[in-house]
Structure 1
């Protein structure tokens, strides 16, 4: 399978926890679809202490995985909000 585009998109979005509204990270998102996975190399600013867990309410919002051979976080549906 093909690797993700090496040139990061210019559009940055803020990712928030839906439970407590805590900001989780800033992400360089490509396209206009829903947020399903976050490639780790595209996370520009990370506010989490433990990967995939909200620092405020301790809700697990993503799982660590490999997508097309690249480390990524697979987002659990309904756990995060994109702004």
Structure 2
């Protein structure tokens, strides 16, 4: 399978917890669609202590998976929002 583009997009989005509005990640997202997965190599800044868990309310918002042979976070629906 094809791997995601290493350089990736230049536009970054801020990802927040939907229950406590804490900023979780700064991510280089491509496209206009919904946030379904976050490739770990595209995360510019990580504000969490445990990957995939909110530091304030300890809500699990993502699971680690291999997608297209690359480590990624699979986002749980409705747990995060981004702008």
Distance 1:33 1:73 in 2: 16
Does residue 60 of the first structure (1) align with residue 60 of the second (2)?
Answer: yes
- TM superposition score normalised by structure 1: 0.98
Alignment of 1:23-38 (within 5 A): 23-38=23-38
Distance 1:78 1:48 in 2: 18
Provide Cα deviations, 1:33-63, integer angstroms capped at 9, x if missing partner. Answer: 0000000000000000001000000000000
**Secondary structure at the counterpart of residue 5 of structure 1:** coil
Task: Give ranges in structure 1 of 5+ residues lacking alignment.
Answer: none
- TM superposition score normalised by structure 2: 0.98
Moved over 6 A (4+): none
